Amino acid sequence: MSYLSFLAVVAGAAIAIQASMNAQLGVLLKSPMLGTSIAFLFSCVFTIFAMMLWTKQYPQMNDIKSVPLYLWFSGGALSAFGVGMVYYLIPKMGVGSMMSYVLSGQILIAVVASHFGWFSLPVKQIDAVKVLGAASLIAGVLLLNWEPGNAD
């Protein structure tokens, strides 16, 4: 496993742990969206602190002006929706089941986005191996969530 692959696995583990903790925060506060808001508030604080420590060069005004309008808000809106849904669903589905579905959605859309090169991504064509991988992913999620005797 490469260094970058290891970091990606650790990041995934951190997301599963923080999602579980923040879902519990939402349950205790009786509001998944309040839990989401608090999580984002502290994420913002920690991110600004990290940016101040490690950013060596800030963008120039021309760089800032060149950013399309939708990029200023769409990522935050999608993130708030996704994270809010995660915090809402964990207490109802369990973290393992919820994460398996969420990661499936992420991987499947990522394969499509890479195939078409959306958002200036490197193009990685969908081929038979990727289709087999996607089918295996779906089968794996179904197996992970299969409960004998339960028709759901």
Tokens 């969420």 belong to: 102
> How many Cα atoms sit within 13 Å of 63 on the Cβ side?
4
Flag whether the pTM goes above 0.85: no
Instruction: Kindly list the domain boundaries of the chain, sorted by start residue.
Output: 3-145
Cα(98)–Cα(11) distance, integer angstroms: 17
Please, where are the H alpha helices in the chain? 3-28, 32-54, 61-65, 69-93, 95-116, 128-145
Distance of CA 56 to the CA centre of its chain: 27
**CA-to-CA separations, 96 to 6, 8, 53, 103, in angstroms, rounded:** 20, 18, 35, 10
Per-position pLDDT tens, the chain of length 152: 788 889 988 988 888 899 899 999 999 999 999 999 999 999 999 999 999 999 999 999 999 999 999 999 998 899 989 998 998 999 999 999 999 999 899 999 999 999 999 988 899 999 999 999 999 999 999 999 998 876 65
